[in-house]
């Protein structure tokens, strides 16, 4: 059954920022791949919690602390349900980057012998391998580089085709008996391409390897069921899905989280402490040391409620249409090269491109002068830019509140930038 059509004009009334102008123009925000805007429902939820329930969750015995703890854990349940997992399998983090580092450093602790026999499957050493892809954000590359350096394991990389798709033939060759971890992005933040999750999971699990999914660019834009995807771990960030900064989530299978040695240690994640040793709580609390990002978690729950209310299938369809419009418009501009797969390949409403003869920062500044916000640079993904012979690109990324007219305005501005900078053909 086809989902109800999304009306971005109606939704925009929920977002206060769209009432402003930038450089004398109505504000056009096409940088949601970096950070999304927040609706009133999210802003109000965080403010209401702060005004009425501020207290130390899981610590105080007084009435307000008890109420705050219930609200905090209810937020966990709502966010977990949004991605198809159980509340006990969702760990609060500051962002997705912290979540990936948590996994990598916990595996490092296991490699030092921490965690006992239960943690043996997380131990790495010489001869073991970690597999990533050429399309990764630095946050899903550098932690694995560091883990390899600390343990003596080898980092191996699945390459990309000239169309920006993962080379599954290479994946089948690289993933083998020595592979301990396969880490990849569900959706590339540069190429917009959707990874073949089922194929990579099957290859990894065939050899007993753990799958770590970077879901930062998928959870906000696609209907994602992490349990159905059969990944072992996954991370995503609140600020990319209408929520606040400072909060993200790590999903892990319950049996894995409870066997994984903790990373951050301190208060609230222990059962018994002596001057010589400590014993730790089960997951998720064993990974939530110290005072948590409580109001932010409450606001993130409000964000998933908002997304649920709109409908993720409707958001998918809306962004798919905007993405196709971007690609078609950019394809008509001479000297513009889009990175990644073209029309007809599954992808989200995101396009990174290079304008021949104009630096990406100059393109972005030209658009900004018209009130159009886009991302410029290497988008924390230098290797993929290097793969396609670019030092930087301009990225347009749409979300549920963007209109076709805004996409057209951005594409027209890119075309006009060529004339402004004098790179038109004779």
Per residue of the chain (426 residues), give pLDDT as tens: 344 689 999 999 999 999 999 999 999 999 999 999 999 999 999 999 999 999 999 988 899 999 999 999 999 999 999 999 999 999 999 999 999 999 999 999 999 999 989 999 999 999 999 999 999 999 999 999 999 999 999 999 999 999 999 999 999 999 999 999 999 999 999 999 999 999 999 999 999 999 999 999 999 999 999 999 999 999 999 999 999 999 999 999 999 999 999 999 999 899 999 999 999 999 999 999 999 999 999 999 999 999 999 999 999 999 999 999 999 999 999 999 999 998 889 899 999 999 999 999 999 999 999 999 999 999 999 999 999 999 999 999 999 999 999 999 999 999 999 999 998 763
pLDDT given at position 4 = 65
Which run of H or of E encompasses 355? strand 350-355
Q: Is 252 exposed, middle or buried (0-12, 13-18, 19+ CB in 10 A)?
A: buried
Tokens of 239: 């600020």
pLDDT given at position 350 = 97
- Return phi, psi of residue 246, to 5°: 85, 5
pLDDT given at position 426 = 37
In order, the DSSP letters of 89-137 are GEEEESSHHHHHHHHHHHHHHHHTTTTGGGGGGG---TT-EEEEETT--
The model's pTM is: 0.96
CB 358 within 8 A of CB 423: yes
Gyration radius of the chain's alpha carbons: 22
Listed in sequence order, the DSSP H helices in 189-337 are 197-206, 226-229, 254-257, 294-310, 312-331
pLDDT given at position 425 = 64
Residue in the structure block whose two tokens are 């409000």? 302
Residue 92 contacts by C-beta under 8 Å, 6 or more apart in sequence?
A: 76, 247, 248, 249, 284, 288, 292, 293, 297
Indicate the class that CATH gives domain 8-30+311-420.
Answer: alpha beta
In order, the DSSP letters of 260-293 are SPPSS-STTSEEEE-SS-EEEPPTTGGG--SS--
Compute CA distances 298 → 70, 72, 336, whole Å.
11, 6, 43
Return the closest-CA partner of residue 337 out of 118, 191, 158, 239.
191
pLDDT given at position 3 = 46
CB 261 within 8 A of CB 282: no
Return the closest-CA partner of residue 139 out of 97, 79, 192.
97
Residue 105 contacts by C-beta under 8 Å, 6 or more apart in sequence?
A: 143, 147, 263
CB 263 within 8 A of CB 109: yes
Is the torsion defined by CA of 130, 133, 136, 138 positive or negative?
positive
Query: What span, in angstroms and rounded, lies between the C-alpha atoms of 308 and 41?
Result: 13
CB 393 within 8 A of CB 414: no
- Range 45-308 classified under CATH 3.40.640.10: yes
Q: Is 289 exposed, middle or buried (0-12, 13-18, 19+ CB in 10 A)?
A: middle
Query: What span, in angstroms and rounded, lies between the C-alpha atoms of 112 and 84?
Result: 33
Identify whether 216 is a catalytic site residue: no
pLDDT given at position 5 = 84
From 227, 333, 380, 412, the catalytic residue = 380
Q: Could you state, in order of their start, the residue ranges of all structural domains in the chain?
A: 8-30+311-420, 45-308
Peptide bond into 284 cis (omega under 30): yes
């Amino acid at each position: 059954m086809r989902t109800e059509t999304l009306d971005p004009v109606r939704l925009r009334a929920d977002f206060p920022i769209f009432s402003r102008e930038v450089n004398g123009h109505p504000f056009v925000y096409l940088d949601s791949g970096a950070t999304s805007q927040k609706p009133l429902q999210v802003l109000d939820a965080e403010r209401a919690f702060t005004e009425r329930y501020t207290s130390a969750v899981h610590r105080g015995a007084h009435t307000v602390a008890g109420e705050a703890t219930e609200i905090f854990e209810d937020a966990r349940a709502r966010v977990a349900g949004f991605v198809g997992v159980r509340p006990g399998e969702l760990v609060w983090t500051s962002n997705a980057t912290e979540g990936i580092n948590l996994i990598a450093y916990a595996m490092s602790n296991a490699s030092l012998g921490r965690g006992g026999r239960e943690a043996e499957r997380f131990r790495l050493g010489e001869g073991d391998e970690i597999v990533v892809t050429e399309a990764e954000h630095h946050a899903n590359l550098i932690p694995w580089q560091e883990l390899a350096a600390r343990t003596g394991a080898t980092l191996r990389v699945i390459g990309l085709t000239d169309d920006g798709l993962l080379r599954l033939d290479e994946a089948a060759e690289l993933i083998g008996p020595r592979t301990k971890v396969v880490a990849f992005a569900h959706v590339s933040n540069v190429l917009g391409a959707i990874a073949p999750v089922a194929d990579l999971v099957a290859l990894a699990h065939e050899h007993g390897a753990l799958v770590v999914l970077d879901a930062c660019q998928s959870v906000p834009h696609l209907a994602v069921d992490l349990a159905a995807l059969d990944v072992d771990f996954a991370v995503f960030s609140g600020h990319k899905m209408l929520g606040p900064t400072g909060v993200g989530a790590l999903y892990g299978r319950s049996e894995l989280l409870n066997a994984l040695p903790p990373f951050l240690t301190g208060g609230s994640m222990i059962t018994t402490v002596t001057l010589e040793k400590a014993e730790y709580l089960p997951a998720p609390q064993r990974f939530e040391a110290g005072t948590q990002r409580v109001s932010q978690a409450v606001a993130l729950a409000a964000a998933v409620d908002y997304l649920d209310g709109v409908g993720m299938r409707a958001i998918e369809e809306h962004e798919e249409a905007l993405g196709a419009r971007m690609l078609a418009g950019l394809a008509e501009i001479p000297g513009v090269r889009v990175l990644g797969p073209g029309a007809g390949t599954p992808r989200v409403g995101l396009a990174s491109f290079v304008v021949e003869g104009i630096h990406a920062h100059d393109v972005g500044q030209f658009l900004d002068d018209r009130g159009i916000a886009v991302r410029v640079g290497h988008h924390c993904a230098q290797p993929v830019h290097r793969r396609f012979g670019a030092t930087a690109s301009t990225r347009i990324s749409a979300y549920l509140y963007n209109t076709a007219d805004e996409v057209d305005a951005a594409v027209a501005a890119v075309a006009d930038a060529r004339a402004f900078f004098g790179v038109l053909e004779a």
